Amino acid sequence: MAEFTKRVFSGIQPSGGLTLGNYLGAIKRFVDMQEADFETIYCMVDLHAITTWQDPSDLARNTRELCAGFIASGIDPEKSILFNQSQVPEHTQLAWIFNTVARMGWLNRMTQFKDKAGKNRENASVGLFAYPALMAADILIYHATHVPVGEDQKQHLELTRDIAMKFNHDYGEEFFPITEPVIEGAATRVMSLRDGSKKMSKSDASDMSRINMTDDADAIAQKIRKARTDPDALPSEVDGLEERPEARNLINIYAALADMDVDNVLRDVGGKQFSEFKPMLADLAVAKLSPISTEMARLMEAPDEIDRILARGAQSAREVAAPILKRTYEIVGMVGA
């Protein structure tokens, strides 16, 4: 296998506000990797967002707000490349090649497509179906070796590996790396506060089901106070969370926010009732999230500065992507590449 630089890529859709799930499952991990021994590239994937309808002015605002969220959470545009996808056309150019590598049968198996298309599949956009090939291109246009994501993206990352392997095999060259998913930490799947069997999501009809990164302290405290739980006290060991999805979720959130192991959290809070634990969790969440939402609001007052950051990031991204696209075209046999 060829040697590849240790390089991280990950993306988030600007299709609505950021949730605590996005923060704990993704952005917080992005910051950790930025501070470790990796080149890091983070993207607002606006071209993915429009696979379901986005009002144009909302899309622009959400893209800037997401950028503000990245920066407020600790992504430093001097250390990481930070940009929006549509400013780097190499993503879609490589995606076309990957549309010819990926098989219909592979995409037919994608559970995210099935979930998002729902019952009316005939009416889903072609883009929603082809989405995972663009996602593979996002990653492989940088020869990224590591991709931090939440649990729900695992299947897409397996597909990315399949596409890389088939391309390398078909064209007889170990050109694309076989990317490692990085799905780690206490909160790889943050669940709805109203239903412990459903993922916390920006598209859930109930705002009480999620904590938004723009929620103020009162809203955060109220949502945690009202979060669904069971009547039992908290256990002292992980085994005691079995069959208690809501309790497990709140403990996972606590552990991720506090940068603690679940074991250690349970050692501290085992035996407590939710009436005692929920205020502890609310205080911790407010302490960790308020500075981020305050900073996001401050950054959003200077949208021109955000646009400059994104333009600079896009330029740096293109410097990495362009030679990889050129070589891909050569391998495929495109004249003039």
199 given a catalytic annotation: yes
- The single residue among 189, 228, 244, 272 that binds ligand TYM, judged by CB under 6 A, is 189
Q: How many residues bind ligand TYM (CB under 6 A)?
A: 26
Q: Which of residues 166-185 bind ligand TYM (CB under 6 A)?
A: none
Neighbour tally for 28: CB within 10 Å: 20
Q: Which of residues 15-74 bind ligand TYM (CB under 6 A)?
A: 21-22, 25-26, 45, 48
Q: Which of residues 199-218 bind ligand TYM (CB under 6 A)?
A: 199-200
- Provide the token pair at 182: 């990085």
- The single residue among 110, 133, 139, 159 that binds ligand TYM, judged by CB under 6 A, is 139
**Residue number with CB closer to ligand TYM (151 or 307):** 151
- The answer to the question of residue 135 lying near ligand TYM (CB under 6 A) is yes
Q: Shortest Cβ distance from residue 282 to ligand TYM (Å)? A: 19
Q: Which residue among the candidates 199, 223, 278, 288 is catalytic per the annotation?
A: 199
Q: Dmax over Cα atoms in the chain, in whole Å?
A: 70
CA 116 to each of CA 119, 228, 263, 323: distance values in angstroms, whole numbers, following the listed order: 9, 25, 35, 35
Contact 307, 64 (CB under 8 A): yes
Stretch that binds ligand TYM, among 98-106, 147-155, 168-176, 237-245 (CB under 6 A): 147-155
Q: Shortest Cβ distance from residue 75 to ligand TYM (Å)? A: 13
Please list, in sequence order, all residues whose beta carbon lies within 8 angstroms of the beta carbon of residue 299, skipping any fewer than 6 positions away. 67, 68, 71, 72, 305, 306
The sheet that has 39-44: what strands, in order across it?
A: 80-84, 39-44, 7-12, 146-148, 180-182
**Bridge partners for 148 per DSSP:** 182
- Provide the token pair at 46: 């606006």
- The answer to the question of residue 147 lying near ligand TYM (CB under 6 A) is yes
Question: Residue with the closest Cβ to ligand TYM?
Answer: 25
Q: Which residue among the candidates 6, 116, 154, 272 is catalytic per the annotation?
A: 116
Stretch that binds ligand TYM, among 187-195, 222-230, 249-257, 303-311 (CB under 6 A): 187-195
- Provide the token pair at 116: 């998002």
Separation CA 264–CA 286 (nearest Å): 21
Contact 25, 153 (CB under 8 A): no
Contacting positions for ligand TYM (CB under 6 A): 9-13, 21-22, 25-26, 45, 48, 135, 138-139, 147, 149-150, 152-153, 156, 187-190, 199-200
